Amino acid sequence: QVQLVQSGAEVKKPGASVKVSCKVSGYTLTELSMHWVRQAPGKGLEWMGGFDPEDGETIYAQKFQGRVTMTEDTSTDTAYMELSSLRSEDTAVYYCATGAGGAFDIWGQGTMVTVSS
Amino acid sequence: DIQMTQSPSSLSASVGDRVTITCQASQDISNYLNWYQQKPGKAPKLLIYDASNLETGVPSRFSGSGSGTDFTFTISSLQPEDIATYYCQQYDNLPRFTFGPGTKVDIK
């Protein structure tokens, strides 16, 4: 079955960038539509963006447009999410997630990103 | 953008109680609605997809119903292991997704 293993926790200064990885096993990345969801401490789930299999493009939530880049390395079956111009409000757990149709039935374990001066 | 609301934001119930959570969409989303359970420090877990279908391996005390703009999630007999936050999620405008704000369920 599909498993998603994410990179470890990060601490970044305001203004910096962070790149989180999500390694796929059990399937190849090309068979999946990978998405990213984040959760600030004590807050709810927030969809950030993901791959649209209909047109082969990656789309982003408007809130993150211009600051987030999601990429994939099919040679290693690893997805990446890079968020730039970090601010304290970006402190959150970042999850990769995938599934069929509109449901996310497979999630990574989450990566804590702390933005602090 | 489609907005999702949930009520209540939190609830306390006794073991064995029937628990009901509602989720409302800002526009008609047909049955494009999923429910997730999230325990502290863990990733969310899919419980119900397409408004009323139970994910494989999920106990039958969990159920979902509704279509259009109004949806209901029910735990027929609350168990101690059901303590968690529950989220609805719409996917009417794929590939974009929206989650509800969540409902925290505690044991009284």
How far is the C-alpha of B104 from the C-alpha of B79, rounded, in Å?
14
Q: Which residue has the tokens 């096993």?
A: A25
**A35 in B contact zone (CB under 8 Å):** yes
Kindly tell me if the per-residue pLDDT of A100 is higher than 90. no
DSSP string, A45-99: EEEEEEEETTTTEEEE-GGGTTTEEEEEETTTTEEEEEE-S--GGG-EEEEEEE-
- Say yes or no for a CB contact (<8 Å) between B49 and A108: no
A37, A72, B26, B81 from A76: Cα distances, Å? 22, 9, 40, 37
**A41 in B contact zone (CB under 8 Å):** no
**A13, two tokens:** 């200064």
What is the side-by-side order of every strand in the sheet holding B19-25?
B4-7, B19-25, B70-75, B62-67
How far is the C-alpha of A59 from the C-alpha of B93, rounded, in Å?
12
- Say yes or no for a CB contact (<8 Å) between B91 and A102: yes
Substitution target from A22, A36, A38, A104 for chain B, most B beta carbons within 10 A: A104
How far is the C-alpha of B79 from the C-alpha of B75, rounded, in Å?
9
Query: pLDDT by residue (tens digit) across A1-47?
Result: 899 999 999 999 999 999 999 999 999 999 999 999 999 999 999 99
Q: Which residue has the tokens 């907005």?
A: B3
- Say yes or no for a CB contact (<8 Å) between B94 and A102: yes
Kindly tell me if the per-residue pLDDT of B93 is higher than 90. no
Across the interface, of A44, A101, A105, the residue whose CB is closest to B87 is A44
Q: In this predicted structure, which of A8-17, A47-56, B1-10, B11-20 has the lowest mean pLDDT?
A: A47-56
Q: Which residues of B touch A65 (CB under 8 A)?
A: none
- Rounded mean pLDDT of A57-78? 96
Query: pLDDT by residue (tens digit) across B46-85?
Result: 999 999 999 999 999 999 999 999 999 999 999 999 999 9
